[in-house]
Structure 1
């Protein structure tokens, strides 16, 4: 049985649906959404974000495929390292190009939660599992009536 890793476990602050937290949680969800042990995915997140300071889609987009493969390898995220590196670059490129580098712009462009989930699956390598992981915690801050950010 696998342990559920939360945003809090990774020291990701989602309060107020802040941009930095949303991107970091999307990145972590993306890594955890693959058929790989949660602990390895969490370590990959830490290597990429904490050790290599790739905490924005702009910073990821400025890395080479090889640099991302090396980062994933440092975390022993080796089963899918090549495809994951390619998909991380594609995610950063699409997020930067289509949404100004902001997860909050994906939210703003979506009429409701269902539309947001559909937009997320338009990113290469983002499937139902990644969306499920991301929405498990992001939905709480994105669709909380008291924040004024509710899109229900």
Structure 2
């Protein structure tokens, strides 16, 4: 099988981004970017991706699609929503972290993550530093956010984190990000990165 065929097969079987699975139609606007940040926080804990995705959907269903709306919720309401999503082991800690995330987002970035959008690939480190400034989001969480957001912030890409590159290596694909991205049809780099993480 050629590398191009391998990529087409990967995309057909596993090419949905985690944001899509969480019901987030990613756009370069504040609400979807906030929802992606929440998903990133949820996925940064030692919990399955499926539970993080289901919980992100539950928080959106509760109407908390902006930091200000989430700040209107009580700690107990957040704990209950996290539990409904299956996020039980870390529900109390995460309910507190969600509040801290929203406060920082409002106070430091006026509720709009586009303040962190890099102008070029050289600025991605600034984005990563901003992301890891949120309590509960470390380097792995920053990787998750960058992997997904490159669909709407092309200057972040091509972004393949360690897990995605491990998936590429396992499938006999290039581990150079530019060469790997060139195999993604129609610019579906974020989808390819998500597929590679799933098979890593």
Measured against the shorter chain, the TM-score band is: 0.7 to 0.9
Aligned partner of 1:75 among 85, 93, 99: 85
Aligned partner of 1:21 among 16, 20, 32: 32
Aligned partner of 1:102 among 108, 112, 119: 112
* Structure with bigger gyration radius: 2
Match of 1:129 in 2: 140
Deviations 1:62-104 (A, max 9, x none): 1121111111111221111111111000000000111111111
Match of 1:6 in 2: 18
**Distance in 1 separating the partners of 2:35 and 2:136:** 16
Task: Answer whether contact 2:18 2:53 (CA < 8 A) is retained.
Answer: no
Structure 2 residue runs without a partner (length 5+)? 1-13, 157-200
Inter-CA distance 32–5: structure 2 relative to 1 (3 Å threshold): farther
Task: Answer whether contact 2:24 2:32 (CA < 8 A) is retained.
Answer: yes
Deviations 1:85-140 (A, max 9, x none): 11000000000111111111232799711101001101111111211111102134
Equivalent residues in 2 for 1:112-123, closer than 5 Å: 112-123=123-134
Q: How many residues align?
A: 141
Equivalent residues in 2 for 1:27-106, closer than 5 Å: 27-50=38-61, 52-106=62-116
Misfit runs of 4+, over 6 Å: 108-111
Give the structure-1-normalised TM-score: 0.83
Structure 1 residue runs without a partner (length 5+)? 146-152
RMSD of equivalent CA atoms:
2.3
